[in-house]
């Protein structure tokens, strides 16, 4: 069985621009560099998961409607076992080598790849706007050390969303106040996004 090949950048490429902890809102300074063909490539996922000298590029999408954010719990069928049973407000996943044609400086092509990724996990029965709002880095834990998040917001016209994968459970739109009550149960990236929610939503 062929092992998945996923998109990565070298940590040193990011460090040359300036590494950070948490959210970074200077998207225009970083994203074109991360998506430039000369700076990213595909490597075997099992190797990337254990080598923090590489960062896997992960779109992390928050779905919004009426001031509420879509929340779910990762079930036992989740591909990332370290996050099972954690609450999340981000939908996303690895960009694999099947997406290779997307990665040029054409931002529209990248956004289309993200839309396709989200629609594999969710059935979105409404129109929406997709915008990149921040980058996310969390080197405080083993999962975060090997991933780099590109935080998107999907602004939905209607709250019409259903799960499309078994690993997504307890799907519901929650207010910021309701999310704060569950903060301790969220995965670390969702905690970081929740703490910066006001700025992310602009």
Q: Which residue has the tokens 């902890």?
A: 21
Q: Is the pLDDT of residue 4 over 90?
A: no
List pLDDT tens digits, range 98-121: 655 555 445 666 777 788 889 889
Q: Where are the alpha helices (DSSP H) in the chain?
A: 11-17, 27-35, 45-48, 107-121, 142-145, 176-181, 188-195, 197-201
What pLDDT is recorded for position 38? 85
What is the model's pLDDT at position 107?
66
Distance CA 183, CA 13 (A): 32
**Domain 5-201 belongs in CATH node 1.20.1630.10:** no
What's the pLDDT at 100? 54
User: Tens of pLDDT along 50-95?
Assistant: 999 999 999 999 999 999 999 999 876 545 445 457 899 999 888 7
* pLDDT tens-digit series, residues 10-47: 999 999 999 999 999 999 999 999 988 788 888 999 99
Place of tokens 């059935």: 123
Q: Residue 42's pLDDT is what?
A: 86
Note the pLDDT of residue 91.
Answer: 94
What ranges do the domains of the chain cover?
Answer: 5-201
pTM of the model: 0.90
pLDDT in tens, 163-180: 998 889 999 999 999 999
């Amino acid at each position: 069985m062929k092992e998945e090949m996923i998109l990565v950048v070298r940590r040193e490429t990011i460090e040359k621009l300036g590494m950070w902890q948490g959210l970074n809102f200077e998207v225009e300074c970083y994203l074109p560099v991360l998506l430039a063909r000369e700076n990213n490539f595909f490597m075997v996922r099992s190797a990337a998961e254990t080598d923090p000298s590489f960062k896997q590029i992960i779109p992390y999408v928050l779905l919004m409607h009426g001031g509420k954010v879509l929340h779910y719990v990762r079930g036992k069928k989740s591909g990332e076992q370290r996050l099972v049973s954690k609450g999340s407000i981000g939908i996303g996943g690895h960009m694999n080598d099947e997406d290779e044609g997307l990665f040029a400086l054409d931002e529209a092509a990248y956004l289309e790849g993200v839309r396709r990724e989200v629609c594999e996990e969710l059935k979105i029965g409404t129109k929406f706007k997709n915008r990149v709002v921040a980058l996310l880095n969390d080197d405080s834990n083993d999962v975060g050390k090997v991933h780099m998040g590109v935080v998107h917001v999907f602004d939905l016209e209607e709250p019409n969303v259903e799960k499309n994968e078994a690993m997504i459970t307890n799907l519901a739109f929650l207010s910021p106040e309701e999310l704060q009550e569950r903060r301790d149960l969220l995965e670390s990236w969702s905690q970081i996004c929740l703490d910066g929610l006001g700025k992310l939503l602009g």
